Amino acid sequence: MRVQVGEKVLEVVRGDITEQEADAIVNAANNHLWMGGGVAGAIKRKGGEEIEKEAVSKGPIPVGEAVVTSAGRLRAKYVIHAAGMGQDLRTDEDKIRDATENALKRAEELKLESVAFPAIGTGVGGFPADMCAEVMIGTALDFLKEAENPKLVRFVLFGEETYEAFRRKLEEVEGS
Ligand code: APR
């Protein structure tokens, strides 16, 4: 599903974020940037361990911040590591909002056309998918209205329930 926001586009798709052809994919990271399971594990497996090495060398960062690395063997040009949690691996609305906004800022600084996000905090973090959708889509919408780049923000959801939560939220945006 896709919604036009002025000259920008918001998309929600079901799939594997490591297969995306966006300029950057976002990693659901912790603030020390070591890459465990979930999205991080998939990025490390497919993109190469050098991504984790580069990420860790840029950390630790404050929770809610985001840093850029190369994307190894992935199709994307960059990985933007957005820290939705600290070493306790716990998250909340404010952390997810900050991590989303700071990842978008990195994309803007690099003048990227497109960036793909996972549902930050909804795996290891245990954060509810519907609340995550509300926070992340709301943050992206506000950002796209003001910023020059990115032109396209795509949310890539792995599970059916998470996908449905994001699709419903984007439908609300479309109807408003
Ligand atoms: N593509 C898209 N989404 C995925 C993929 C994938 N390949 N793999 C998992 N997901 C989904 C999960 O189902 C969940 O809905 O991404 C969402 C986020 O899950 P996590 O990756 O566990 O992220 P998070 O909850 O933010 O926890 C981050 O996990 O492994 C560690 O190093 C990572 O410490 C960090 C923490």
pLDDT in tens, 67-95: 999 999 999 999 999 999 999 999 999 99
- Total number of domains constituting the chain: 1
Convert the pLDDT of each residue in 9-63 to its tens digit.
Answer: 999 999 999 999 999 999 999 999 999 999 999 999 999 999 999 999 999 999 9
How many Å apart are CA 134 and CA 136, to the nearest integer? 6
**Cβ atoms of residues 121 and 127 within 8 Å:** yes
User: Would you place residue 166 in the very low, low, confident or very high pLDDT band (cuts 50, 70, 90)?
Assistant: very high
Convert the pLDDT of each residue in 106-159 to its tens digit.
Answer: 999 999 999 999 999 999 999 999 999 999 999 999 999 999 999 999 999 999
Q: Which residues line ligand 1 (CB under 6 A)?
A: 16-18, 28-30, 35-42, 84-85, 89, 118-125, 156, 158-159, 162
How many Å apart are CA 35 and CA 56, to the nearest integer? 9
How many Å apart are CA 2 and CA 72, to the nearest integer? 28
To test ligand 1's pocket by mutation, which of 19, 27, 31, 39 has the most ligand atoms within 8 angstroms of CB? 39
CATH number at residue 17: 3.40.220.10
- pLDDT computed for residue 134 by the predictor: 98
Residue 100 is part of which domain span?
Answer: 2-175
Q: For ligand 1, atom 12, which residue shows the shortest CA distance?
A: 123
* Selection from 154, 88, 152, 161 nearest residue 122 by Cα: 161
- pLDDT computed for residue 24 by the predictor: 98
- pLDDT computed for residue 176 by the predictor: 83
- pLDDT computed for residue 175 by the predictor: 86
Distance 39 CA to ligand 1 centre (A): 4
Distance 20 CA to ligand 1 centre (A): 15
